[in-house]
Amino acid sequence: MSYSVLELVGKNLTINLLDGVNYALVQWAPSVSARDRSLLGNYSPYLNVSEVLTVNVFGESVTEALQALDDINIVLEQAEAWSLGDAVEPVLMRVQMLGSSLDEPLEAVVLGRPGDESPMMLQPSFNQDLLIYEISNVEIRLVRRGLWLGEEVERSLSSALTNPAVMTVNMGERVNRLSPTTLRVTGFGPGTPMIGGGFLLVSGTPAASSQGRNIGIYGAASMSSSEFDVEDDSANNAHFDDILQIDAAAHATGTILIPGIYAEVSRISIFAAVRNNSTTTTWRVRAKSTGYVTAVGGWRTIDALSQDPRIIYVGTPANQSGAHINVALEFVASANSGTLDVNYVVVLGHDPSTRHVTIRAGDYSAESFPRALVVADRATTHRTPLIYIETVTE
């Protein structure tokens, strides 16, 4: 392979491995990252990879040649320090193939050396013939993140939507692969009393559901129950206007059925908008998936600490058939009094592109600027993403 750019970029120090002055590339081909099979999750759906680059190091003097060699070590040590949590900037490996149509080189974060190996392997010989001071066939060994990242692509919605809603943004062909994504949710005006707690669900394409998307919002009209009654709650701004309500005095247990979700994945996460109208009675809820096989989640408690609407995570039923047809929510009251409302249920089909992020409530009633909720990937700058509230001044 031939390259027009091949660099290791650190703090105030860039190693240009193609400059022909201090460095000359002997051989290197990029490793190809594999998908991460771990069930415990990772920062990326792709594994980190090890690279070995062989270069010749030059200098017009012995001192210059050795300094060029040490510069490589300095950059790799900075990468190691960043990976360990030190307050230093990350090191980027930048590459561009000869003849590439990209405007900018691809970048990957360098994490340091592989295991306990030395970051460089030196040859025992030192060439100083013809006044060319050369350390030949130096092996640079490093670990980098598996994804090569290109230029950022920005897209936005064409119009505003009312929460809860499925917001769909077409990112174009260049980012149809799994890519780090930063999300900015605007619309919180000056003096907004509260950015409410809840969940931000993120899903890419292709859809895991035969209905065309991985996120489904189901209101009272899409659900059925023998124990819950349909009530008009539009006065309280209920989504879809109606709610399902169960009275513990008549039914201490109840089930809500959502038929025909047809999520073609092994795992689905279920969320519900609920309101406990009692100050003493608590409720337990669990999710059940039926169809080819039955999968039942664990019990969650809806406490009596608040009588305001809230969004709860119900559970993540999983089965080996790779599909979910129907979803049910089962409820049990702690006493024979009080009512519970269910406004809507959200089903998230899990594929490698899906994530759900917990959003904590925050009071911004004293602020005089608009606000935005930001989930920043920070893929080339920090070790982890960040969720924060941003002041919007434009």
Question: 365 falls in which pLDDT band (50, 70, 90)?
Answer: confident
Helix, strand or coil, per DSSP, at residue 73: helix
Q: How far is residue 93 from each of residues 14, 109, 110, 114, measured CA to CA in Å? A: 10, 6, 6, 15
* pLDDT at 255 (0 to 100): 97
Residues of the chain above pLDDT 70, percent = 93
Q: Is the pLDDT of residue 212 over 60?
A: no
DSSP-derived secondary structure letter, 149: B
Query: How far is residue 140's CA from residue 125's CA, in Å, rounded to a whole number?
Result: 17
CB contact set of 345 (below 8 Å; sequence gap of 6+): 217, 218, 223, 256, 258, 270, 271, 272, 273, 314, 327, 329
- Judged against a pLDDT cut of 70, whether residue 40 lies above it is answered with no
Give Cα separations from 267 to 206, 290, 298 (angstroms).
16, 13, 14
- pTM of model > 0.95: no
Tokens of 334: 């702690």
Two tokens at 174?
Answer: 């260049």
Q: Which of 78-87, 106-115, 194-203 is the least confident region?
A: 194-203
Architecture of domain 173-181+198-359: Sandwich (2.60)
- Asked if 59 and 22 count as a contact pair (C-beta separation under 8 A), the reply is yes
pLDDT at 363: 79
Work out the pLDDT band at 361, boundaries 50, 70, 90: confident
Residue 244 has pLDDT above 90, yes or no: yes
Instruction: With H, G, I as helix, E, B as strand and everything else as coil, classify residue 81.
Output: helix
What is the distance between the terminal CA atoms of the chain, rounded to a whole angstrom? Answer: 46
pLDDT at 155 over 90: no
Residue 44: what pLDDT? Answer: 80
pLDDT digits (tens, 9 = 90+) for 293-345: 889 999 999 999 989 999 999 999 988 777 888 999 999 999 999 999 999 99
Catalogue the E-assigned strands of 75-197: 91-97, 106-112, 120-121, 133-144, 183-188, 194-195
What is the percent of the chain where pLDDT is above 90? 51
φ/ψ of 269, rounded to 5, equals -105, 140
Burial of residue 91 (number of CB atoms within 10 Å: 0-12, 13-18, 19+):
buried
Rounded CA gap, 85 and 144, in Å?
16
169-196 mean pLDDT: 76
Examine the pLDDT at 389 and tell me if it is beyond 90.
Answer: no
- For 303, the token pair is 């406490």
Q: Which of 47-56, 271-280, 359-368, 382-391 has the lowest mean pLDDT?
A: 359-368
Give ∠ CA 63-67-70 in degrees, rounded to 5.
Answer: 140
C-beta separation of 58 from 133 below 8 A? yes
Mean pLDDT computed over 48-73? 93
Q: What was the pLDDT predicted at 213?
A: 64
For position 31, what pLDDT does the model report?
A: 95
Mean pLDDT, the chain, rounded, equals: 88
Q: Which pLDDT tens digit goes with each residue over 15-27?
A: 999 999 999 999 9
Whole-number Å distance between alpha carbons of 152 and 163: 27
